[in-house]
Amino acid sequence: MPTATATQKFDLKKAIAELEKLGADLYHKDFLLTWEKNDAEIHSVLKIAEILKEMHAQNIDASMFRTGLAVSNFRDNSTRTRFSFSSACNLLGLAVQDLDEGKSQIAHGETVRETANMISFLTEAVGIRDDMFIGKGHTYMKEVAEALDDGYKQGVLNQRPAVVNLQCDLDHPTQSMSDLLFIKNHFGGFENLKGKKIAMTWAYSPSYGKPLSVPQGVITLMSRFGMEVELAYPEGYDLLPDTIEVAKEHAKKSGGSFKVSNSMESAFKNADIVYPKSWAPFKVMEKRTALLEGGDQAGLKTLEKECLENNAKFKSWECDEAKMKLTKGGKATYMHCLPADITDVSCKAGEVSANVFEKARIGTYKEAGYKPFVIAAMIAACTKKNPPRLLAELVKAGGKRVL
């Protein structure tokens, strides 16, 4: 990981100049899926995130808004992403308001089109997490975005808020972009990621229904950087087919590789990075979505029982010291979006052994530490006409974040 000395060597002026050269234009756009963004747009957000992180480290005020609201709409539970969104908005000078659908007129049948406009009169960004329903989350985010487009076009809204995907059924871009920045700095640059092997593997969990968006986000993004990506899971634990095709295409274009196997050991062999994470099978999530929409509680209980019984067949899919010895030099970088299911700590049997996790624990915290800056970068890129100039002005002003 970068040392304190390396952090001090970060040249803000040089980074801002590099950002300007990228020439990306995300103004009045949203950040929903990484594979919808071109390379310049991806690198632009990552560069802004690093600049903001360094400004924070140097106690430089990064407030880009004197007033304004950021609305968070979490349709699923969250700790890291919820607090990262609030932190990111506060860093930029925005106040945060949670949209509690149970306490709003949404519960009384208010349409998405109406809600999107009613919450956005003085709003600069809307962060949405909707990851539990296959075929629904990303669709909902697009519906909100289309309503905001219409409201801005019709003069209802003075500004068009940016919509940021805080996790949907397809992708978790704030997580995968944070993961990417972590390994980029760990290995000393994007150019050093070429040829590195990352094992994105399923791992046993004593729970069911975990979203597919983390592994999907990882394979579709890391495959863009010339990495050797191996996705491994027990038979039947498939991801959405479309995301597999995206990963294949990205690997082909970047000169990397993409492989799917049904062996955790195969994936770990000679891996530089391992990412053992549980998820529910695609078909199970489809069935679960139908049961949830129908309010079939008995059906949900039956499905959970069946899935937990099936999960239990694969308790050997644990990231333990024996499997870590299969990695390159036995020293692969362990990654996780957190919280991890840790054997004999948070559960009797889980995704990772206590010894392996403890060795990597601080690294996973640092991995998570990029997320507030990635979210802030997405908001800045999508709401400001000229982020490089604005950042340069803020750095030159040198205002202190904390007096």
Tokens of 253: 């274009």
Which of 214, 224, 265, 210 is CA-nearest to residue 367?
214
Q: What are 232's strand-pairing partners?
A: 201, 261
Residue 329 DSSP class? G
Torsion angles phi and psi, residue 48, rounded to 5: -60, -40
**Contact (Cβ atoms closer than 8 angstroms) between residue 32 and residue 138:** yes
CB burial readout 123-143, b (16+ within 10 A) else e: bbbbbbbbbbbbebbbebbee
Torsion angles phi and psi, residue 333, rounded to 5: -75, 125
Delimit the domains of the chain by residue range.
4-171+371-397, 174-368
pLDDT in tens, 64-106: 999 999 999 998 888 899 999 999 999 999 999 999 776 565 6
Please indicate whether the domains covering 4-171+371-397 and 174-368 agree at the CATH topology level: yes
Which of 148, 164, 154 is CA-nearest to residue 113?
148
Tokens of 349: 């049997």
Q: Residue 401: what residue type?
A: R
Tokens of 367: 């991995």
Whether pTM exceeds 0.85: yes
Which of 36, 336, 335 is CA-nearest to residue 165?
36
Superfamily of domain 174-368 in CATH is Aspartate/ornithine carbamoyltransferase (3.40.50.1370)
Tokens of 339: 């919280």
pLDDT score at 103: 58
Give me the residues of the chain with pLDDT under 50, please. 1-7
**Contact (Cβ atoms closer than 8 angstroms) between residue 315 and residue 264:** no
Q: What Rg, from alpha-carbon coordinates, does the chain have?
A: 21
Measured CA to CA, the distance from residue 204 to residue 380 in angstroms comes to: 38
Tokens of 21: 């050269």
Measured CA to CA, the distance from residue 201 to residue 251 in angstroms comes to: 18
pLDDT score at 5: 39
Q: Element (H or E) spanning 150, and its range?
A: helix 137-153
Which of 349, 275, 265 is CA-nearest to residue 312?
349
Question: 4-171+371-397 sits in which CATH class?
Answer: alpha beta
pLDDT score at 209: 83
Measured CA to CA, the distance from residue 243 to residue 213 in angstroms comes to: 10
